[in-house]
A = this chain, B = another copy of it.
Amino acid sequence: MYIILMAGGTGTRFWPMSRRCKPKQMLQITGSKSMIEMTYDRISSLTSPDKILVITNSDLKVSIEKLLSKIPAENIIAEPVGKNTAPCIGLAGAIIQARGDVDDIMVVLPADHLVDDVKKFRKTLQIGVSYARENDCLITIGIKPTYAETGYGYIQKSTKLQKKDGISIFKVKTFAEKPNLETAQRFLQSGDFLWNSGIFIWKVGQIMAEIDEHLPELGQDLAIIKNAVNKTKFNKTVRDVYSRTKSISIDYGVMEVAKRVCVIQSDFPWNDLGSWEAVYNISKKDKNGNVVDGENSILLDSKNNYFYSKKKIIAAIDIENLIVVEVADAILICKQDQSQNVKKVVEILEREELEKYL
């Protein structure tokens, strides 16, 4: 069984803490380990290190080799550019095909999500792996929503296919994009909708066949990559393919159109930590709802704020619902419900060629 960690994200939404050379998956957001290390720790017992592949970018390859030193260096693969999840998953699949392991199961995980209750998480994966092995279907993991989150995609379930150890597998009715609040509330009330975790389980041969069917141009390109694996032309071939392949997610390109798609319903605590607001939401708060990740603070008449400053005392007076993040060369001050727009700051830094802050 293969496990693929998708670790190519540039994590602009955690600026100024996240930078090109240190995006979200490399950050210690919730503890003393980086998100990718925590992801690795959750899955390392499930297969052997040579069957763990990390798909990342060239800025991070060396750092990840060091962080995850048990994984063979040739299993840490840099995409020349990010083209969303379909090419990323296809690249991993092509490499596994070249190894001849087409009948192996392949578990695909984002490297920068937060998961609690590792036992339940592993149990969910194991049930999914067994089911995928026996039923030749594309499995996605859905999380039972606990509130009307508007920042996630949703999966609508239909017929129940299996229930085992309290974990059910359903046929998928539809995938839904990030909803507005009203729709999210409807999703929550219906009981039919699950959060789309972006975790997938399938046989290598099957996902590659589905890509061939639904994304035929990508399929042809992946066949070219497969033939270049372990040859000197490999890097050039990958560069050529990535320069022409279109950017598309596996959800949109395959999952929404494929036939045998099902969802495991689980309820391990999960969060994609998509913004500073999400970090605030999962953090332990004081009695006024403030979070201080830093050395010292004096907060007067202030509530529901997130403060990050590792080396300075923070004093706040009459402040509400703010995100304040201070790092070596930058300070972000932002309304919590605007923290999705931090990426706009990064876009401006790029446009104005303020490279040192990227």
A interface residues with partner B (beta carbon < 8 Å): 15-16, 296, 298, 300-301, 309, 311-319, 322, 324, 326, 328-335, 338-339, 341-342, 344-345, 348-349, 354, 357
Contact = CB atoms under 8 A, between A and B. Distances in A.
A143 to B, nearest CB: 29
Contacts of A342: 315, 317
Contacts of A312: 326, 328-331
A331 B354 contact: no
Given A300-B341, A345-B317, A333 B322 contact: yes
User: What is the copy number of this chain in the assembly?
Assistant: 2
A330 B318 contact: no
8 contacts: A300-B345, A313-B331, A315-B333, A317-B345, A318-B334, A318-B338, A324-B333, A333-B333
Contacts of A316: 332-334
Contact of A331 (B16, B324, B334, B345): B324
Contacts of A298: 345, 348-349
A344 B318 CA distance: 12
A333 B297 CA distance: 11
Nearest to A311: B329
Given A319-B333, A331-B324, A344 B300 contact: yes
Contacts of A332: 315-317
A223 to B, nearest CB: 45
Q: At the interface, is chain A mostly helix, strand, loop or mixed?
A: strand
A228 to B, nearest CB: 42
Contact of A338 (B313, B317, B354): B317
A315 B16 contact: yes
A339 to B, nearest CB: 8
A312 B16 CA distance: 11
Given A298-B345, A317-B332, A319-B335, 14 more contacts: A15-B315, A300-B341, A300-B345, A301-B338, A313-B357, A315-B334, A317-B333, A317-B334, A317-B341, A317-B342, A318-B335, A318-B338, A319-B322, A322-B333
A331 B309 contact: yes
A255 B296 CA distance: 45
A179 to B, nearest CB: 22
Contacts of A329: 311-313
B319 A334 contact: yes
Nearest to A326: B331
B314 A331 contact: yes
Contacts of A313: 16, 329-331, 354, 357
